[in-house]
A and B are shown apart, each in its own frame.
Chain A
């Protein structure tokens, strides 16, 4: 089971954090600190795996961002690495050449997309198309609601103007 997913910038700033295992806030802070330190210290040509306490850490760097997954001892490392990649692919397709800023300004989308790929610490859907379809569906709903919102606000402004 995946215990957590972290997106950490090269400066060590957390861009996204998702916890599937229950832990007190203190432990989480400690893990974020330790794991970030370990991952940032890694050099190229090293493996994508680390061992941290009783868990394994699988990470991969994409441009300025590190995608980090903490998994249980018995889990398959490579397949986790490829979940990360699938997530990046979906983000890339959705935002069109995704960059760190996209994830910062659209953090709620980054979380929503992750929810379509992984919940409860297990992969939920591996097909890029299926994930994007569901995300697009929710976007359509949102857009419709937002234009409604805008109209309503314009309406109220208009009425005040009169």
Chain B
């Protein structure tokens, strides 16, 4: 319904710009008077605001209508509101003062029962929301997102509005507290909701990788359902036969913000998905199909490279990329070059890329500047000692014809490659000087400073450098930067070549002096310094030099004048004075310092939007980035190798405050923002304890299967079996609800992550039908003696989010094995092991039973339950208990141990002795068994 079409037609009829402006001005004047009149109807207000908005789009910024637009927001009618919101989003920006007036009406509209009105408000927040809106409206937006009564189309808008709020004002979004609830929405049945939530999670996960860790599993699961199961509404979410490429790309990106998965189940899913994507080489049916296919494919390749650049899949990807390099489609060539630069930054060896070196060099001459840029970046990334000469040579050739916009970056990159990969100093000097003479205007000062640093520090190079510089000076045109280098180098090392033919001091002076007339004051000052150095080493040309100084005493530039006067005075001192010699002696080598060039280059990459998961510049650049990124991921581990860290096995927040040998102060500081204590980081549900749960847990300590948790809606039961240092546990979740249970999320945490590790073999399905069940399978490995049982954290949606934290009955005695011993064997071993340190002993008080006796049977039951064999007929005193067992750990190995419990009724005390073949275990075992015995 084009209701201001007449107006628009009028404006379009105006052919000349001036007429258009006149027509608009006339209408605006008209509107101004209309707005001033007291009986402006709502319909007219809407019409006029729409006209103003139209002019705004045309580029005519008007200073009227703001208040009227804001008034429209409070209108009852949807169509008036709609125009009001459109005008507000167009005319007001985030920093506009008037936005303050809007916050209240937006809040009212968010609370409105009519969801289309909610949507208008959400759009506005998502598109122009700033600090003030964020602060006032974040809770309302969150409420709309998670409310079970919200429509799907409200939920996704709310998710993105929340994302905007978070980007603008992160403090008002308790991202960690909301983590579980937000992640649970990733299991929503509506892919529209999932794609919106994925954007939100992707951003939050970058800042709170730990709190959003479960999102990884969700993303893997969802990808699996999309790509392999094709388990979604294909009518709505197939895009030219490709399952929602947008969602796939978002999820694959999410995977790239985390280290490779540790758990077998998740890893298998991810690998399956990636392999399938890589093999999806269909014949494109249309441009759209082709684009969507490649969009996902390149993202998959990026993920593969991220996970493991040495894997089979990565080799396959490299091969594929090579083929894409000579694709007919420009887009594909562009992306192939870009992705290959990623590979170069990650791969162990550059060989697969070098195979295509010629093609890549050819790409430097592509018609499209975008492709040329990518080729340049890739060449820079793949440059190493072997191919530096070829690549730098090619780049130098190309530099002379390159676009002006590219030159500065090219010069820097050439200079860096030269410096990093030069094998001969001569080549280095030649190349850099050629670089400067070819593109002098684009050469920053850093480049020539660096040349001088290197020449000064490398003695073998000095004569050669002086010679080359001198040759450049003699050529008719010579860039000023070259004059500077030549000036400096000849001043320092000119005497090294003074005896060669054609290089006499006088000729050097003439060459340099001829150029000095065309140079600016800075360069001339440098040249004056060269002259005074020459006064020191070339007494034969002193008269000429003195004339120059004398002449410069009268120039207007004060710096030059001062130098000339000072140098003249110095040069006029008597022959036997050694001031001149001391001051103008050869420069000492520079202290080794980092190349200024790298800093310059990295400064050029501003960070906007999502963090990059890799940067251009090959391995070395990557290494730095990796360290910073990993720091930001807060994956501080005890062994200091960030990539291999089993982050999920770490107690939450515990290790962050503990900087170790390899992490510096920054890491410790990076940890600080986490150190608000577990109460703030409420991302993991606290462990639930009550007598009933404790009783179930106690029971499971002594048996391998049973019920762990039970309430009106939900039951958790386990089945487990242990063999030596490994244990396999299946955890079943039974739903008792009349409706399906959604977004089931489970995580396992091990407090002593390097003593007790685990691997999830199968993740439960996210939805549990009414009266149905699903299973989580996990394998535990006891590496070393541990005392803290792991915990299981469960959350699920039944309208609202229910969370549950439980202890898992995995304790050290599950890794014991009972041993049957004959009495004589027992004695023999007992003797053989001997006393401390392989023996540990303790006295502790005991409680007598009702009859006033020692509860020997109870003690024996505990010992047997703890997988220690009670040996009969060993101890003549029947009150005593003796037992034998073996403890299995995979890191420290196995050890046999013998136990003797001697209770005394009279003293109400008990003596416990443990002897173990390994002194590492004896005290811990004793403590543990005492704990069991006193627990009753």
Chain A contacts to B: CB under 8 angstroms: 1, 3, 13-20, 22, 25, 43, 45-51, 54-55, 71-79, 81-83, 85-86, 104-108, 111-112, 115, 119-127, 129-130, 134, 137-138, 141-143, 145-146, 149, 153
Contact = CB atoms under 8 A, between A and B. Distances in A.
Contact of B331 (A47, A122, A134): A47
B87 to A, nearest CB: 9
Contacts of B93: 19, 22, 25
B123 interface: yes
A149 B127 contact: no
A54 B367 CA distance: 22
A48 B332 CA distance: 10
A105 B5 CA distance: 6
A72 B196 CA distance: 18
Interface string B144-175: 00000000010011001101100110000000
Contacts of B331: 47-49, 77-78, 81
Contacts of B253: 74, 76
Contacts of A77: 295, 331, 334-335
B770 interface: no
Given A22-B130, A45-B330, 12 more contacts: A14-B57, A20-B127, A46-B367, A49-B334, A73-B605, A73-B609, A74-B253, A76-B298, A108-B53, A125-B196, A129-B235, A149-B43
A127 to B, nearest CB: 4
A24 B782 CA distance: 59
A78 B295 contact: yes
Nearest to B368: A46
B195 interface: yes
B249 A120 contact: no
B195 A123 contact: yes
B442 interface: no
B915 interface: no
Nearest to A105: B2
A159 B116 CA distance: 34
B220 interface: no
9 contacts: A15-B57, A43-B367, A72-B610, A76-B298, A79-B299, A104-B8, A107-B53, A108-B86, A122-B163
Given A77-B335, A82-B288, A119-B123, A125 B156 contact: yes
Nearest to B292: A82
Interface string B117-128: 001001100110
Most chain B CB neighbours (cut-off 10 Å) among A43, A47, A126: A47
A120 B122 CA distance: 10
B295 A127 contact: no
A119 B126 contact: yes
Interface in B68-109: 77-79, 82-83, 86, 93-95
B78 A119 contact: no
B116 A127 contact: no
Interface in B342-372: 367-371
Interface in B584-623: 605-606, 608-613
B97 to A, nearest CB: 15
B245 interface: yes
B117 to A, nearest CB: 10
Nearest to B202: A122
A16 B90 CA distance: 10
A119 B130 contact: no
B244 A126 contact: yes
Contacts of A123: 195-196, 199, 246
B237 interface: yes
B142 to A, nearest CB: 15
Contacts of B425: none
* Main SS class of interface, A: mixed
Contacts of A20: 127
Contact of B195 (A85, A126, A149): A126
Nearest to B193: A125
Contact of B86 (A76, A78, A111, A121): A111
A17 B58 CA distance: 10
Contact of B611 (A14, A74, A76, A146): A74
Contacts of B130: 22
Contacts of A13: 58
Nearest to B3: A146
B869 interface: no
A50 B79 contact: no
Interface string B287-299: 0100110111011
Contacts of A143: 1
A74 B295 contact: no
B601 to A, nearest CB: 14
Contacts of B371: 47
A120 B298 contact: no
Given A1-B610, A78-B291, A120 B367 contact: no
Contacts of B2: 105-106
A134 B153 contact: yes
A20 B54 CA distance: 19
Given A51-B373, A78-B295, A120 B164 contact: yes
A120 B116 contact: no
Contacts of A119: 122-123, 126-127, 157, 160-161, 164
A141 B79 contact: yes
A145 B78 CA distance: 8
B313 to A, nearest CB: 19
**Nearest 10 CB-CB pairs, A to B?**
A72-B609, A78-B295, A119-B126, A47-B330, A120-B126, A122-B199, A127-B236, A120-B160, A79-B295, A120-B164
Given A54-B608, A122-B199, A138 B78 contact: yes
B126 A14 contact: no
Contacts of B8: 104-105
A130 B192 contact: yes
Given A15-B57, A25-B61, A47-B333, A79 B245 contact: yes
A78 B294 contact: yes
Nearest to A119: B126
B931 to A, nearest CB: 52
B82 A108 contact: yes
